[in-house]
Amino acid sequence: MIKEFKAFVLRGNLIELAVAFILGVAFATVVTAFTNIVLGTIAYIAGGSTSFDDIGVEKDGVVVIPVGAFLTALVSFLIVAFVLFLIVKAYNRTRPPIPVTTKACPFCASEINLVATRCPMCTAELPAAA
């Protein structure tokens, strides 16, 4: 059982996932600092705040349901998600395109090899490749 656990822990995917998680946490810290410093400065100049912590449902002047903390976390999440989207989009541009190796059979719409002359699913004879 210990050997299986060791094999599981030392698999490449698990280590890559752990590194990605740690980098994600560090990235979230950077985004939080960005939000507090840069956006905080802009909000201060405009006369507002970057934190929604004071927002909530009030009863008799006391915040009963503090919705603001959730809104602050939501804004931070959306910033992180958008920046990660831009990073992934830029990364995908640098990768070479994946070569097309299959096509759809015109008779049964199953995926077949590009050079196939007969469909293995419906056994229809395929037109010659151009």
In which residue are the tokens 């299986």 written?
4
pTM: 0.50
Q: How many residues does the chain have?
A: 130
| Domains of the chain with bracketed CATH | 2-94 (1.10.1200), 98-130 (no CATH)
pLDDT, tens only, 68-122: 778 777 877 887 788 878 888 998 889 888 888 888 898 898 998 888 888 988 9
Residue at 117: amino acid letter: T
Q: How far apart are CA 63 and CA 54, in angstroms?
A: 8
C-beta of residue 57 within 8 angstroms of C-beta of residue 69: no
